[in-house]
Structure 1
Amino acid sequence: MSTGVADPLIPIEPISFERFEWKPRAPEMYSRAEVMRQTGPYQAAVTAPIAGWSPRLPVEALADVEDATRQLVEFDLHAQRTLANDSPALGPMAAILLRTEAASSSQIEQLTTSAKQLALAEIDEGDRANARAVVGNVHAMEAALSLAGDVSEGSILAMHEALMLHQHGFDPLLAGRFRGEQVWIGLGEAGPRTADFVAPHHDRVPGAIADLVAFVQRQDLPVLVQVAVAHAQFETIHPFPDGNGRTGRALAQSILRNKGLVRSTAVPISAGLLVDVNRYFAALGSFREGDAAQIIHELARASRIAAVTGSDLVNDLAAQLEDSRAKLAGIRSDAAAWRILPALVSQPVMNAKYLVQTLGLGEMAALRALDAMSARGVLVEMTGKSRGRVWQHSGILGVLDEYAARIRRMSAE
């Protein structure tokens, strides 16, 4: 597939292969034809070490990376300036950008949900399995940023545990542990012999991750190059039985924070990758074949999209806060509504239980504040019930849905 990249090849050692024998487990679960297809030798990938890789970047590639880096820094500064104008909203605004990144990363894996369903899942309302799965990705992103000071094997395991611990259908005993079996991508129900890509044998995972961590800890590489190559190598290693894509994109956020490229929040890079998922996956394939140029270009491209769309998202959310403040004018300054307002940025759907747990309000005080905000047109009660009521900020949800729609429109262009 052509990616439109004019840069010459940026060489990196390609994967090699080693031979193993495969015999389907529980053959009675598959057709005889499938058992025959999946019985015999197969080739598993062997990742080349990257800890000592010395890239030779063409001038055009360097300019591309420098431009994307500058835009990410400008986005981060813009977010900091916007948030500084309203310091109580700093935490919530950062949280919603992180949640946006988690939702886009999940969508790459065909896990889609709306802003409303995601917010409902965060307060244990609603029953959408995809929304609950995305909440796990939010927790993985949170772990990635909280552990960014030390990108290590331990922090990678912690990200995976946060992601998968409560995922429906996933054994919780495997969360935060490297896989102990062969995995593959593509065709092959009973075995890897017809797969598109067979990841390294599980015995090679710890050593490959140690090499990856050594690469991340280097201080002599352009950060976006380091992020792109580390991410591609992680996806090639495929160290977990499930959740590798989402953990790998959480790792990218951790490296960006670790290197100090961004400081205020998560960067919605996955939204940029989501604009053309086929190009992203093709770039990972090119990396395995020995060409790092494509994944570096895709990461730079995604960073520019993230900077532009992320800045607009920050502006639109700040405008919603200003509009809501105007509607609350006249309410005394110590009223609970003013404490609730900034929290709506990160949690635009609320119930009294959430406010009791997160803001320490009494239940009656929380209910009175929610009713007062409804009366002022800030919130809308969405259940129509007298008990178990839930309120939403329709303006903030609209901004988040429009952001998602914008990314979809860009992908269709």
Structure 2
Amino acid sequence: MAPVPFTPENLPLPDERINQLLFLRELIEANKKITQYQVLLQNTKLPSHLLLNPVMLNEAVQSTKIEGTQVTLDEVLEVEAHSRKNNKDVQEVLNYYNALRDGMDKLAILPISTRLFKAMHVTLMSNHVRGSNRSPGEYRSIQNYIGPEGCTLDTATYVPPQPQLVDNYMSNLENYINNPQDQFDELIRVAIIHAQFETIHPFLDGNGRIGRILIPLYLFSKKVIDYPNFFLSEALERDKHKYYRFLNDTRYRGDWNQWIQFFLEAIILQADKNIHLINNVNQLYEHDLELAQSLINSSGVKKLIDAIYQKPIFTVHTISSAADILEATCRRYLSILESNRIIFSDGKQRSKTYYYYNLLDKLR
């Protein structure tokens, strides 16, 4: 007998569903770590926007990896630098990146809402990737199900709500996001919101990715973070089978405490990694900028190094454009940096690709 479609509770959850004492320590620690990360970003010597492009691309890699797409950050950066041919797997990552940027941009004029979800979904499913024929930008009108690759409705591990109920459940979620009626901390709320979005599973494809984009967008909209740049996909991908099991336990066992504790632990893990990254990158930036300035006596060197932090895999054309430096001048500077082992190239005579491994090693 096939499992029946699940019927979620509307939000806010009844008070008895959640016992904050069970994860109070994790909640305090998660808030402290996010605050540390925000203060560090505000006081970094490296302009924080420089890292946004590679960090967002890495988030896109990690989030699509959860869905089974196997692409490395280097491969995506090579395609972005036009030194590698694109393929559908890389395009899925680039679509996620573009959907994330779309969401950030649209937050200036839209609340977190159905309109925002559907706009991001159109971008996520564009350019003929897997799922591009599955109603992009529209909530589903047929039943879907979740389980291991090749499963059927009979063997699914989870069957989301019936399609005719999706609009009502999404309306309830949207109302909770923008007008919550409980007293929970925002980190608890975002755990509930992410789980509820995945439980409703409003689209035929791409629900996990849109649901993970929702995390930084929500925290930014509630001013928990100063910019929507706190991503959880890497921490969730590390324990993805636990991630899926605990999500299912909120549905069939009503165990929200276990899920929220896991989610807060993922925040702590990711914040620690982010803090470590920023500290290391700060030191690297200072060291390599000073070294480059000692080798090249020009005010354009800082612009070049800043551009390399935004695009750590690049060609002369892509980096000269990003740094606003003439290609001939840029080529001369890059030759000096390569001779001194600050950057490395693939050695090609034409259309040479350069790699800033000092930064890539810290991002990977």
Length-normalised TM-score, structure 2: 0.88
What letter corresponds to residue 233 of structure 1 in structure 2?
Q
* Aligned match for 2:75, one of 95, 117, 131: 117
| Secondary structure of the structure 2 residue equivalent to 1:45 | coil
* Aligned match for 1:138, one of 97, 104, 107: 97
Q: Deviations over 1:49-106 (max 9, x none)?
A: 1147546433232332222112111112112222xx23xx321223333333332222
Q: Which moved more, 1:128-137 or 1:184-193?
A: 184-193
User: Conserved in 2, the CA contact under 8 Å of 1:227 and 1:252?
Assistant: yes
Listed as ranges, the gaps of 5+ residues in structure 2 are none
Aligned partners of 2:201 and 2:49: how far apart in 1? 33
Aligned partners of 2:160 and 2:136: how far apart in 1? 19
User: Conserved in 2, the CA contact under 8 Å of 1:92 and 1:342?
Assistant: yes
2:336 matched to 1:387? no
Q: Which moved more, 1:228-237 or 1:113-122?
A: 113-122
- Number of equivalent positions: 356
- Aligned equivalent of 2:238: 275
Listed as ranges, the gaps of 5+ residues in structure 1 are 1-39, 402-413
- Aligned equivalent of 1:21: none
After superposition, the Cα gap between the structure-2 partners of 1:333 and 1:90, relative to the gap in structure 1 and judged at 3 Å, is farther
After superposition, the Cα gap between the structure-2 partners of 1:357 and 1:152, relative to the gap in structure 1 and judged at 3 Å, is farther
- Aligned equivalent of 1:94: 52
What letter corresponds to residue 293 of structure 2 in structure 1?
A
What letter corresponds to residue 23 of structure 2 in structure 1?
A
How far 1:173 sits from its partner (Å)?
Answer: 7.7
How far 1:357 sits from its partner (Å)?
Answer: 4.6
| Secondary structure of the structure 2 residue equivalent to 1:350 | strand
* Aligned match for 1:204, one of 157, 165, 187: 165
- Aligned equivalent of 1:286: 249
Q: Deviations over 1:265-321 (max 9, x none)?
A: 512322222332222111101111222112211110001001111111112222222
- Aligned equivalent of 2:33: 71
Q: Deviations over 1:196-233 (max 9, x none)?
A: 21122222222211111111113543111111111011
Aligned partners of 1:49 and 1:278: how far apart in 2? 26
User: Conserved in 1, the CA contact under 8 Å of 2:6 and 2:159?
Assistant: yes
* Aligned match for 1:104, one of 57, 62, 68: 62
What letter corresponds to residue 73 of structure 1 in structure 2?
T
Aligned partners of 2:43 and 2:136: how far apart in 1? 38
User: Conserved in 1, the CA contact under 8 Å of 2:112 and 2:178?
Assistant: yes
Q: Which moved more, 1:91-100 or 1:244-253?
A: 91-100
- Aligned equivalent of 1:81: 43
After superposition, the Cα gap between the structure-2 partners of 1:110 and 1:42, relative to the gap in structure 1 and judged at 3 Å, is closer
Aligned partners of 1:124 and 1:207: how far apart in 2? 44
- Aligned equivalent of 1:32: none
Q: How does 1:285-304 map to 2 (within 5 A)?
A: 285-289=248-252, 290-304=254-268
After superposition, the Cα gap between the structure-2 partners of 1:394 and 1:252, relative to the gap in structure 1 and judged at 3 Å, is same
What letter corresponds to residue 288 of structure 2 in structure 1?
S
Q: Deviations over 1:352-410 (max 9, x none)?
A: 3323554444443443333343234322121x222211111011112223xxxxxxxxx
After superposition, the Cα gap between the structure-2 partners of 1:167 and 1:316, relative to the gap in structure 1 and judged at 3 Å, is farther
Aligned partners of 2:338 and 2:148: how far apart in 1? 52
- When the two chains are superposed, the root-mean-square deviation of aligned CA atoms in Å is 2.5
What letter corresponds to residue 270 of structure 1 in structure 2?
S
Percent of pairs identical after alignment? 22
Structure of higher CA gyration radius: 1
- Aligned equivalent of 2:124: 163
* Aligned match for 1:61, one of 23, 28, 47: 23
User: Conserved in 2, the CA contact under 8 Å of 1:68 and 1:300?
Assistant: yes
| Secondary structure of the structure 1 residue equivalent to 2:140 | coil
User: Conserved in 1, the CA contact under 8 Å of 2:216 and 2:228?
Assistant: no
- Aligned equivalent of 1:50: 11
Aligned partners of 1:295 and 1:53: how far apart in 2? 16
Aligned partners of 2:128 and 2:220: how far apart in 1? 26
Aligned partners of 1:277 and 1:191: how far apart in 2? 21
